[in-house]
Amino acid sequence: MNEANRHAIAADHVFDGWARHKDAAVVVEGSLIVGVIPRSELPLGLQVRKLPSEIWLAPGFIDLQVNGGGDVLFNNLPTPEAILAIAAAHRKFGTTALLPTFITDTSEKMKAAFASVESLAEREPGILGIHLEGPFLSSEKAGVHDPSLMRQPSSADLELLCGPRKGALLVTLAPERVPRGFIAQLAKHGVRVSLGHSMATYAETLAAMAEGLSGFTHLFNAMRPLASREPGPIAAALESPNAWFGIIVDGFHVNPAMLRLALRGLSRPILVTDAMPPVGGRQSRFALYGAEIQIVEGRCTRSDGTLAGSALHMAAAVRNCVQMLGVPLEVAFRFASRNPAEFIGLGHLLGNLRPGYRADVVALDVGTLEVLATWVAGKESAA
Ligand SMILES: [Zn+2]
């Protein structure tokens, strides 16, 4: 061990993913965490970053559904530079790692998006991989996706999705719109498959889960609703301890009472933003498929009123989870970091502030939601 390489971040409250430590410090060596120790036990001479009183350190937020940020929409600009601009915009709100999310579009653009993410996979630790939301979706639940670009998977798609890659791959699809065995093939290649924009029945959802589907994208939105004789995907999701579901806690996408109901199920919640370009940006409008999307009173909507993603950031999602859903802060932190890390198979490296984990940390004032600083792989960036 190289002691000279070590530094520490000290705060009044350190939540390590499991428990809260008062007056503690996260000791970092290179990109990894060595331990969390009482502040009083910090060795003399160690470089210590001290934070103001009442600040919390928590595992950096991991957002698995980010369409845009900093006035950039990934679908409009599927380049490495665009991804970095989006990540920088979200980092101000505590997001230390994310999956740029590419929604239903042409196969050429999808390939470009995929290649851009791959080019960053080994040099940008905050870019964990890609989330492809579409194009294998149900036009009956299109939401803001362009139904004319939805399609059945081709053999070229299968090659792209199951081929060699460096980062994580999450695919949101409608199980009833893909051939039997398709989900199993993706799952066999380490792809995380999530149900979304789907009219799948309860039985169809269970069959997809048997093939390896393990996620539910923005639960409740753009899927068959819960109904007495056809429980659909929502009931199937909430009955399974081996499933994860994303929720957009902005007060607009889902009534908080429905979200509180979902939290009583067996599956594991994940806070996502489904963020659009205005997050961390300056403009209150942007173009999607050539149509104008406006932000009015915090909602991103198309002229016909259809919700088009959100203007939410992760710090606000955590706050809303506490205030609207009555979830304890530590649990909300887990929904924002440990659960998403585990869902995409990175639970051994991310989502906790424990020895051997990557030093991805957020320092925030939980009262004002102000993010003071973040660390990605041990490197600080002031907010
Ligand atoms: Zn969606």
**Could you give the residue numbers annotated as active site?**
274
List, for residues 32-89, the tens digit of each pLDDT value. 999 999 999 999 999 999 999 999 999 999 999 999 999 999 999 999 999 999 999 9
Residue 239 has pLDDT above 90, yes or no: yes
Query: Which H or E run contains 341?
Result: helix 338-343
Please give the distance, rounded to the nearest whole angstrom, from the Cα atom of residue 263 to the centre of ligand 1: 20
Confidence of residue 366 (pLDDT cuts 50, 70, 90): confident
Please give the distance, rounded to the nearest whole angstrom, from the Cα atom of residue 6 to the centre of ligand 1: 42
What's the confidence (pLDDT) of residue 383?
67
Please give the distance, rounded to the nearest whole angstrom, from the Cα atom of residue 224 to the centre of ligand 1: 13
Please give the distance, rounded to the nearest whole angstrom, from the Cα atom of residue 138 to the centre of ligand 1: 11
Residue of 113, 110, 116 whose CA lies nearest to 134: 110
Average pLDDT over every residue of 186-207: 98
H helical segments located in 229-326: 232-239, 256-262, 314-325
Cα separation values, 149 from 111, 138, 289, Å: 14, 11, 10
List, for residues 86-141, the tens digit of each pLDDT value. 999 999 999 999 999 999 999 999 999 999 999 998 899 999 999 999 999 999 99
Please give the distance, rounded to the nearest whole angstrom, from the Cα atom of residue 376 to the centre of ligand 1: 28
pTM of the model: 0.97
Mean pLDDT over the full length of the chain: 96
Please give the distance, rounded to the nearest whole angstrom, from the Cα atom of residue 315 to the centre of ligand 1: 21
